[in-house]
Amino acid sequence: MMTEDYIYLDYAASTPVDPRVFDRMRECSAATCANPSSTHAAGRMSQDIIANAATQVADLLNIDPKTLIWTSGATESDNLAIAGGARYRAHRGKHIVTMRTEHKAVTDMFDTLAKEGFEVTWVDPGPTGLLDPAAFEAALRDDTQFASIMFVNNETGVIQDIEALGNICRQRDILFHVDAAQAVGKVRIDLGKLPVDLLSLTGHKFYGPKGIGALYIADRPGCHVEPILFGGGQQRRMRPGTLPTELVAGLGMTAEIAAGRIDDDLAHLRTLRHALWDGIRHIDGVTLNGDPNGFPGILNVSVDDIEGESLLLALEPLLVATGSACNSKSQEPSYVLRALGLTDLQAQSAIRFSVGRPTTMPEVEFAAGHYRAAIEKLRELAPEVVT
């Protein structure tokens, strides 16, 4: 997407809504205004729209539509899964496990539970951000009841071995939550095979609307969450509140579109990331943060002796992220990159390029050339800091 003056390379922060999704939402809005909780004919029409959307999302993940709870997005799904799951299991044990490289929606919830008397173990990834399943297993105890590990990292694109981690949890009957906000609709996920109990997703990370997401809750014994919202009896009381029919329909359409093109999307992103990295890897002092085999939509790079905020300014008209979008208001270096062992300076110079469906080869070629030029310019301006 090249808006008039900018080149958008921030698809990991949010994506444009597919026009077919808007069409579907407008269609639903025209068909019925009724509250889906109403039992009259118009309310039943809203219920049918929602049931249809549940089938579309369920087909993408190979699950039963009844295992989905609609939420306002991945932040709420993460909060509900973690607080609700850990509290549901608390009578059996209060030890819970996650990583420092998780999204704030996860780490802040764990910090909150720690204040409630849960004991948290933060497992460390290796230098590329990958969690060694053996290190994960070593952190587990007899009283461990809950673990949360993300699928695709939002800053580095690192993909965790969810199958291995989930199998370890299954063996010990630990409730296993996966934040898949960056993975759903972008990499193949078969929940018929993957040993995952709870999985969070959100529409706006895969060409759907903002403000709608879902939590998958596996239909198996001991897998349940306590509500964090209270009100009407909607969604089996697990998440009350009037369902936003149009947004739910939009998320359903988003999932159906994604299901048909994941492999083509991945091939497109791989070509783009390869070209982008090829255009900048020879710059003096440039390093790739994360795993080269990670999700191809994200390329996170640091460069020696350059300050991140000045780099971001020099990079205009490229719209990219320093740290993560959620943290960029604070000047703190990314806690995710710090957890990979980067120094404050290295983390501060990090730029996250993220490409998407609309990104073109000329855009990434321009981006690579512009990044090279920006670094040369900054080094000329401040030659004394160049070692």
Active site residues: 326
Lateral strand order in the sheet of 351-354 = 286-289, 298-303, 351-354
Q: What angle do CA 71, 75, 81 make, to 5 degrees?
A: 70
Q: How many angstroms separate the CA atoms of 234 and 243, rounded?
A: 8
Q: Which is nearer to ligand PLP, 154 or 348 (CB)?
A: 154
Q: In terms of CB distance, is 354 or 359 closer to ligand PLP?
A: 354
Which of 15, 202, 346, 348 is in the footprint of ligand PLP by CB under 6 A? 202
| Residues in 364-383 at the binding interface with ligand PLP, rule: CB under 6 A | none
Near ligand PLP by CB under 6 A, which window of 41-49, 129-137, 174-182, 376-384?
174-182
- Residues 268, 186: Cα–Cα separation, whole Å: 12
Q: For residues 53 and 150, which CB has a smaller minimum distance to ligand PLP in the complex?
A: 150
* Region binding ligand PLP by CB under 6 A among candidate stretches 22-30, 55-63, 176-184, 362-370: 176-184
| Pick from 316, 331, 321: nearest CA to 370 | 316
Contact call for residue 213 and ligand PLP (CB under 6 A)? yes
CB 337 to ligand PLP: min, Å: 15
* Nearest approach, Cβ of residue 102 and ligand PLP (Å): 8
250 binds ligand PLP (CB under 6 A): no
Burial pattern 37-53, b for ≥16 Cβ within 10 A else e, equals eeeeeebebbbebbebb
103 binds ligand PLP (CB under 6 A): yes
CA distance 28 to 91: 44
In the chain, what is the greatest distance between 2 CA atoms, to the nearest angstrom? 74
Q: Is 150 in the site for ligand PLP (CB under 6 A)?
A: yes
Three-state SS at 93? coil
Look up residue 12 and give its DSSP letter: T
Told to check if 182 binds ligand PLP by CB under 6 A, we report: yes
| Angle subtended at Cα 303 by Cα 301 and Cα 307, rounded to the nearest 5 degrees | 110
Decide whether 98 or 154 has the Cβ nearer to ligand PLP.
154
279 or 294, CB closer to ligand PLP?
A: 294
**Dihedral Cα 101, 102, 104, 109, nearest 10 deg:** -120
- Angstrom CA distances, 92 to 118, 176, 221, stand at 12, 15, 14
In the complex, which residue's CB is closest to ligand PLP? 73
In the complex, the smallest distance separating the C-beta of residue 12 from ligand PLP, rounded to whole angstroms, is: 7
Does residue 154 bind ligand PLP (CB under 6 A)?
yes
* 56 lines the binding site for ligand PLP (CB under 6 A): no
Q: Which residues contact ligand PLP (rule: CB under 6 A)? A: 73-75, 78, 103, 105, 150, 154, 179, 181-182, 202, 205, 213
